[in-house]
Structure formats: C-alpha cells, structure tokens
Amino acid sequence: MSNDVPTLDHLLGSARVVALPLVTRFRGIDVREAVLLEGPEGWTEFSPFVEYDDDEASAWLEAAIDYGWNAPPATLRDRIRVNATVPAVDPDSVAAVLARFPGCRTAKVKVASGDQTLAQDVARVRAVREALGPEGRIRVDANGGWNVDEAEHAIHALAPFDLEYVEQPCETVEELAEIRLRTKYMGIPIAADESVRRAADPLEVARLGAADLLVIKAQPLGGIRRALEIVESAGLPVVVSSALDTSVGIAMGAQLAASVPDLEFDCGLGTASLLSADVTRSPLLPEDGSIAVRRVLPDPELLDRYSASAERTEWWLDRLGRAHAVLTAGATASVD
C-alpha cells in the first residue's frame, strides 16, 4: 500500500459496526463483530480479533484501506474452490455442519480445543470421514493448541483418517520444525497459520523449514499485495483462508486467492456459512464447492438490523482510531 493513508475522519465518515450471530460457537465466540468502511473502490472490512493489540490491529486496517482505496491486482481465476469448516462440535452434529457447505470436497476440522479431549477430536474427524467418504479431503487445525509431544501423539491417532495436512499443531516456529521432523515418516504435511499471520517475520517459518505449506489471510498480513509478496518470497504452496469475516472481508480473501499464481489446495473462504446473518443479500456462500470472486455490497437494512450496540460501536471506533494512529506513524516513519 502507498504511504497515503486516508484521514481518520474520512474512515469514520462511512464506518458501520456490525455484530453478526454465528450458527455454532467458534473460536470461543457466538457473535462476530466487524467494522465496514466504504472507499473509492468499494466496501472493505476491519475486523481484528478482540484480543489483538493495536500494533497487530493496524495491519488489518492497512488491509482494509488497501482493498477499499486501491485498485486490485490482476486475477487469474473467477471462482475459488473452498473447504467446509467444522467447529469443535459433537460427532452427531457433523452432518448438519457439512450440509451448510454444498459441494465442498474438503473439510477443515477444528481440534485441540481447550475443553475437548483427543478422543473427542478423533470421534469428530471419524464422523467427517464417514460423511465425506474415501474421496473427501480432511485437514485438521489445532490453532497451536498442542505441545510437541501432544502433537505427535494426536497426529498418530488421527493419521488413519488420511489427513491432507495438519494446520498449526504447535505454537512456535521451533516447535513446528520439530514436529515436522518427528512426524515426517507419516507423510502428513504441516501447515503454518499463526506462525505466518501473527509473526514479526512471516517468512521465518519457510526459512527454517518448519512447514510444508502456508495458510495466508489478507487482513492479518496487511492486505492483498503484502500477502502476495509473502507467497512469492516463501516459495511454498499456500491456502488462502478467512478470519471469520463478513462476506465483505471474504471478498477480499477471494481477491487474494484469485491472484495467487498456483492454487493447489481448496481455500478456507467458505466461512460465511458459519454466520447465521450477514451484511448483504448476496453473501459469498459456497455453491458447488466454490465461491465467486467479486466485490460485495452491504445492504443498508441489514447494516441497521445487525448494528452493534452503542457501547460496542464506541469500542470499535476507538480501536479504529488507535490502529489508524499506529498506521499513520509507520507511514510517516517510512517517508522519513
């Protein structure tokens, strides 16, 4: 992105804060909050997770500005194949979750939740395999929830279900490198997510040989262009994923996925199916296992219906201002 950051007043002039209920509890939340902004290129989204500090949130704002204020890069495809996302639900609920992702041949299953046992994870993955059949693809995501020994034990227990890969089994890059070495004999690739999007150096995981592929997300990495630079520099296969965005944010992710030169894996961009409400009458829901690459126009009535409370709106707009201060300070420093 250029050093021209819109003024805070400009951003606040169009800002709408929404609170969207989820179908099933996910990442410990039942409601997803986001700020939508309108730029000259269209609507965009700022929705860093609430626990992130202002420095980390500023990258999400940079991404929002990049998508809303700059023309997008050229695209290589007009539809993106996506995976189903299965939260930490009971096995009996798996079929209902997968039904929300019509035509998806791949499922990402959440594991290593603090309130779940490995036996429950195994039962959930088994139910997904039974639902998808032998041709389906299954990847699991631990969100860094295991130490190395736990990860080795868990991957061994889950290996019979023919895993496509294991995403972020451990928290640190060093742990990822170790578990990748320990489990190499199983032939199950290791993917890095948090070790890319939350890292001071997102390329460290590639340099240290700690992962076989990268999971990249437009908002946390500072926007589509920054993410594409990381893809090019890392030289590893990538999966483009969402951060539980509204359809506006998912459209940003789809634009990124459409611009990646080689897209071997189905992408984690079907997560609008996890929301029981959205900001548009034409949400980016999977159709025949894929979503379209297009901008999303919010519906004014839906923006009003799902407007966050006054207290939460104030909280988000204050946060937007702090992230803007970080971003403008960085832009000034880079000019100097």
Give the pLDDT of the chain (336 residues) as one tens digit per residue: 445 899 999 999 999 999 999 998 887 889 999 999 999 999 999 999 999 999 999 999 999 999 999 999 999 999 999 999 999 999 999 999 999 999 999 999 999 998 899 999 999 999 999 999 999 999 999 999 999 999 999 999 999 999 999 999 999 999 999 999 999 999 999 999 999 988 888 899 999 999 999 999 999 999 999 999 999 999 999 999 999 999 999 999 999 999 999 999 999 999 999 999 999 999 999 999 999 999 999 999 999 999 999 999 999 999 999 999 999 997 655 544
Domains: count for the chain? 2
Q: Are 21 and 43 in the same domain?
A: yes
Q: Which of 129, 139, 217, 324 is catalytic?
A: 217
Q: Are 128 and 24 in the same domain?
A: no
Q: Are 283 and 319 in the same domain?
A: no
Distances 287 to 96, 99, 214, 246, 272 between C-alpha atoms, Å: 16, 12, 25, 17, 12
Structural domain span for residue 15: 8-71+304-335
Residue 108 a catalytic site member: no
* 185 inside domain: yes
The vertex-98 CA angle with 91 and 30, nearest 5°, equals 80
* 297 inside domain: no
Task: State yes or no: 141 annotated in a binding site.
Answer: yes
pTM: 0.94
Q: Are 42 and 175 in the same domain?
A: no
Alpha-helical (H) ranges within 90-117 are 94-98
Residue 110 a catalytic site member: yes
By the 8 A CB rule, do 262 and 232 touch? Answer: no
By the 8 A CB rule, do 305 and 278 touch? Answer: no
By the 8 A CB rule, do 138 and 125 touch? Answer: yes
* 199 inside domain: yes
Q: Which of 81, 108, 110, 225 is catalytic?
A: 110
Dist CA 54 CA 242 (whole Å): 20
Q: Are 56 and 205 in the same domain?
A: no
- The two beta strands, 42-46 and 79-81, are unpaired
Task: State yes or no: 193 annotated in a binding site.
Answer: yes
Q: Are 327 and 228 in the same domain?
A: no
3-state SS assignment for residue 190: strand
Q: Are 266 and 331 in the same domain?
A: no
3-state SS assignment for residue 138: strand
